[in-house]
C-alpha cells in the first residue's frame, strides 16, 4: 500500500511530529511504502507561543519527508493537493488537532478526493479544542466533511464526532507507546545525568505549559504541609506556552522555590529518558483533556502516573493499578501524592504499568487506520 501522512514532522518539533514519524515507521514495518508531507510554515509567529517551532536536532535519515505546506498560503494547499491527486496514493492520513488547520487540510483533502481512488483518514486528536475560539466549529467541520473515516485516541473525541453528526466510519484506538526515546535507564543513572540530589524523591510534570494542563493546581497541591514534610521535589520539565508570571506568583506565595526543579525550555528527544526515568511518578493535573502522549511516554518508561478524571485520561490509567485518577483539585492531588509516598506504592504501580503497556502497539493503530479507510 502507498501511504502519505500529512501533518507535523521534521524539521518541526514536538509531540505531533514525533508521533507522525513513529507512525510512518510502523507502516513501513508491515511493508507499506510511506512518506510524510509537512509544513514549511505551521503557525505564523504571532500565533506561536513558544520559543521556536523548529528542531535543532538532526533529521531522521530513514524517513522520506516533504516540506511543502504553508498553513496560511492557499496556493500551497492546491499545489500539494494536486500533486497527491495525480500520484494516487492508496491512503492519505491527516493529523488534525486544531481548527486553525481546517482550511489548509480540508482544501488539500478535497483536491485529492477528485482522483476517486485515494482514501482519506484523519487521526483526530481533538474535535472540540481545549482552548475555544470563535469560528472553531465551521473550520473543524470543513475539514472533517472531506474525510472518509476517522481514528480517535479517546472515547471522548469519538463522542464529539458523533455530536457533530459525522457518520463516516470511526474507531477508537488508544495512543500507542512512545517507544522512540530509547530504552529505560536505572533511576540512579538518570538522576545523576540531571544532576539531582539522590537524597530526594522526584515527581515529574512534563510537556508544554498551558492553562488547561493544570500546573497551577499541582503547585497548590504541592504546597500541602504533608508534602512539604517529605523529602520530595517536583520537576517541571517543559516550555511555557503562555505567561509564566501567574505560576511564578504561586511559587513565591507558597514558598516552593527550594522544592522545585525547573527545566522550562523545550526538552530535546535525547533527554526525555532522563526526566522520566529519574521520576518516582508522572503527574498530569489537567483541567480538560482528550488524550495525552505524556501518558504513553510514562508507560514506555514504566513510570506510575497520577491523572485527573477529565476527558479520556482515565481510560488509560486504571485507578489503583498503575497510579491514581483524581478530581482536578489541589486537595485530591495532594492526598494521592501523600498516599503514594507514605504507603510506598511505587513498586506495585510499576508492576501494573509493565503489565498494561503491552496493549498499546503501533501495529494496532496501523490496522485501525486501514480499517476505517476501507470502502464500505
- Res. 43 pLDDT band, cuts 50 70 90: confident
CA-CA distances (angstroms) from residue 156 to 43, 140, 152, 364? 27, 16, 9, 19
Given this model, what pLDDT does residue 199 score?
Answer: 96
Residue 181 domain-assigned (yes or no):
no
In the DSSP assignment, the letter for residue 207 is: S
- Based on the fold, state whether residues 169 and 193 are members of the same structural domain: no
Contact between 280 and 346 under an 8 Å Cβ cutoff? The reply is yes
User: How long, in residues, is the chain?
Assistant: 376
- Based on the fold, state whether residues 150 and 249 are members of the same structural domain: no
Given this model, what pLDDT does residue 323 score?
Answer: 96
- Based on the fold, state whether residues 135 and 230 are members of the same structural domain: no
Given this model, what pLDDT does residue 58 score?
Answer: 79
The domain that holds 109 is classified in CATH as 3.40.50.11930
Residue 340 domain-assigned (yes or no):
yes
- Could you count the other beta carbons within 10 Å of the beta carbon of residue 260? 14
Give residues with Cβ within 8 angstroms of 236, minimum separation 6.
Answer: 205, 209, 215, 260, 261, 262, 263, 264
- Based on the fold, state whether residues 365 and 355 are members of the same structural domain: no
Residue 182 domain-assigned (yes or no):
no
- Based on the fold, state whether residues 272 and 351 are members of the same structural domain: yes
- Based on the fold, state whether residues 144 and 218 are members of the same structural domain: no
Burial of 230 per CB tally in 10 Å (0-12, 13-18, 19+)? middle
Question: Which is more confident, 136 or 70?
Answer: 70
For 60-69, 164-173, 285-294, which range has the lowest pLDDT when averaged over its residues?
285-294
* Closest of 70, 65, 66, 55 to residue 100, by C-alpha: 70
Contact between 153 and 125 under an 8 Å Cβ cutoff? The reply is yes
Task: Tell me which residue range forms the domain holding 349.
Answer: 187-359
Question: Residue 150 above 90 pLDDT?
Answer: yes
Question: Residue 285 above 90 pLDDT?
Answer: yes
Contact between 312 and 155 under an 8 Å Cβ cutoff? The reply is yes
For 92-106, 263-277, 329-343, which range has the lowest pLDDT when averaged over its residues?
263-277
- Res. 166 pLDDT band, cuts 50 70 90: confident
For 95-109, 122-136, 206-220, which range has the lowest pLDDT when averaged over its residues?
122-136
* Closest of 83, 82, 89, 63 to residue 9, by C-alpha: 63
The domain that holds 351 is classified in CATH as 3.40.50.2000
Residue 12 domain-assigned (yes or no):
yes
Long-range CB pairs of 311-319 (<8 Å, 24+ gap) are 311/154, 311/156, 311/286, 312/153, 312/154, 312/155, 312/156, 312/157, 313/284, 313/286, 313/289, 315/154, 315/155, 315/174, 315/291, 316/174, 316/175, 316/291, 316/360, 318/352, 318/356
151 alpha carbon, distance to own chain's centre: 15
Given this model, what pLDDT does residue 46 score?
Answer: 58
Provide mean pLDDT across the span 316-323: 93
- Based on the fold, state whether residues 120 and 152 are members of the same structural domain: yes
Is the backbone of residue 224 left (phi > 0), alpha (psi -120 to 50) or beta?
A: beta
- Res. 57 pLDDT band, cuts 50 70 90: confident
- Res. 375 pLDDT band, cuts 50 70 90: confident
- Res. 52 pLDDT band, cuts 50 70 90: low
- Could you count the other beta carbons within 10 Å of the beta carbon of residue 244? 13
**What does R_g of the chain's alpha carbons equal in angstroms?**
21
Residue 231 domain-assigned (yes or no):
yes
* Closest of 260, 211, 217, 220 to residue 240, by C-alpha: 211
CA distance 177 to 296: 5
- Res. 269 pLDDT band, cuts 50 70 90: confident
Question: Residue 352 above 90 pLDDT?
Answer: yes
- Based on the fold, state whether residues 149 and 26 are members of the same structural domain: yes
Mean pLDDT of the chain: 92
- Based on the fold, state whether residues 194 and 310 are members of the same structural domain: yes
- Res. 163 pLDDT band, cuts 50 70 90: confident
CA distance 229 to 82: 63
How many independent structural domains does the chain possess?
A: 2
Residue 108 domain-assigned (yes or no):
yes
- Based on the fold, state whether residues 352 and 234 are members of the same structural domain: yes
Locate 177 and state its grid cell.
507507546
Residue 256 domain-assigned (yes or no):
yes
- Based on the fold, state whether residues 211 and 351 are members of the same structural domain: yes
CA distance 90 to 205: 40
| Beta bridge partner(s), residue 234 | 203, 260
* Closest of 298, 313, 306, 314 to residue 332, by C-alpha: 306
For 89-93, 214-218, 289-293, 337-341, which range has the lowest pLDDT when averaged over its residues?
289-293
H or E stretch at 67: strand 65-70
Question: Residue 45 above 70 pLDDT?
Answer: no
Question: Residue 338 above 60 pLDDT?
Answer: yes
Residue 313 domain-assigned (yes or no):
yes
pLDDT, tens digit (0-9, with 9 covering 90-100), for 179-217 = 888 899 999 999 999 999 999 999 999 988 988 899 999
pLDDT, tens digit (0-9, with 9 covering 90-100), for 17-41 = 999 999 999 999 999 999 999 999 9
- Please state the pTM of the whole predicted model: 0.82
- Based on the fold, state whether residues 343 and 366 are members of the same structural domain: no
Amino acid at each position: 500500500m502507498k501511504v502519505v501522512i500529512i501533518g507535523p514532522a521534521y524539521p518541526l518539533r514536538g509531540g505531533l511530529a514525533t508521533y507522525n514519524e513513529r507512525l510512518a515507521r510502523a507502516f513501513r514495518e508491515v511493508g507499506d511504502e510511506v512518506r510524510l508531507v509537512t509544513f514549511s510554515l505551521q503557525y505564523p509567529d504571532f500565533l506561536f507561543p513558544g520559543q521556536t517551532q523548529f528542531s535543532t536536532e538532526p533529521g531522521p535519515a530513514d524517513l522520506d519527508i516533504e516540506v511543502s505546506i504553508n498553513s496560511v498560503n492557499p496556493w500551497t494547499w492546491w499545489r500539494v493537493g494536486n500533486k497527491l491527486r495525480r500520484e494516487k496514493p492508496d491512503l492519505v492520513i491527516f493529523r488534525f488537532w486544531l481548527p486553525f488547520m481546517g482550511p489548509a487540510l480540508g482544501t488539500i483533502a478535497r483536491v485529492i478526493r477528485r482522483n476517486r481512488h485515494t482514501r482519506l483518514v484523519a487521526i483526530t486528536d481533538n474535535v472540540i479544542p481545549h482552548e475555544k475560539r470563535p469560528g472553531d466549529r465551521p473550520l473543524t467541520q470543513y475539514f472533517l466533511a472531506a474525510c472518509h473515516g476517522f481514528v480517535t485516541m479517546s472515547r471522548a473525541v469519538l463522542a464529539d464526532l458523533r455530536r457533530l453528526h459525522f457518520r463516516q466510519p470511526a474507531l477508537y484506538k488508544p495512543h500507542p507507546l512512545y517507544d522512540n526515546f530509547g530504552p529505560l535507564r536505572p533511576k540512579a543513572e538518570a538522576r545523576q545525568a540531571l544532576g539531582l540530589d539522590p537524597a530526594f524523591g522526584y515527581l515529574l510534570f512534563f510537556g508544554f505549559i498551558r492553562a488547561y494542563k493544570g500546573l497551577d493546581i499541582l503547585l497548590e497541591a504541592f504546597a500541602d504541609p504533608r508534602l512539604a514534610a517529605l523529602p520530595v521535589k517536583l520537576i517541571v520539565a517543559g516550555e511555557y506556552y503562555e505567561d509564566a508570571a501567574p505560576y511564578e506568583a504561586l511559587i513565591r506565595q507558597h514558598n516552593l522555590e527550594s522544592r522545585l526543579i525547573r527545566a522550562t525550555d523545550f526538552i530535546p528527544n535525547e533527554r526525555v529518558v532522563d526526566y522520566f526515568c529519574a521520576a518516582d511518578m508522572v503527574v498530569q493535573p489537567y483541567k480538560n483533556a482528550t488524550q495525552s502522549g505524556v501518558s504513553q511516554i510514562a508507560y514506555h518508561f514504566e513510570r506510575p502516573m497520577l491523572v485527573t478524571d477529565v476527558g479520556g485520561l482515565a481510560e488509560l490509567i486504571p485507578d489503583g493499578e498503575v497510579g491514581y485518577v483524581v478530581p482536578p483539585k489541589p486537595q485530591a492531588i495532594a492526598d494521592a501524592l501523600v498516599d503514594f509516598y507514605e504507603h510506598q506504592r511505587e513498586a506495585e504501580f510499576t508492576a501494573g504499568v509493565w503489565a498494561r503497556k503491552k496493549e498499546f502497539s503501533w501495529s494496532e493503530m496501523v490496522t485501525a487506520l486501514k480499517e476505517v479507510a476501507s470502502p464500505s
